[in-house]
Amino acid sequence: MTTKGKGRGFASMDKTKQRMIASKGGKAAHKKGTAHTWTSEEARRAGQLGGRARQKRIR
């Protein structure tokens, strides 16, 4: 594993460890009732924006 800087913090962790920690946060937010739930319209709009951003970087 190659790290930049001093190797501290979330970004320098192994990707699987990052996913595990993020998953725990998401589950806790849902259990608490503070997690965002996407409507189909919001998800559609977000997907379109992501595709546009990707196309701009490639060109």
14-31 pLDDT tens trace: 999 999 998 998 888 888
Q: How far apart are CA 55 and CA 6, in angstroms?
A: 34
pLDDT tops 80 at residue 6: no
Do 11 and 20 form a contact (C-beta atoms < 8 A)?
A: no
Give the global pTM: 0.46
Q: How far apart are CA 37 and CA 29, in angstroms?
A: 11
What pLDDT is stored for residue 20 in this prediction? 92
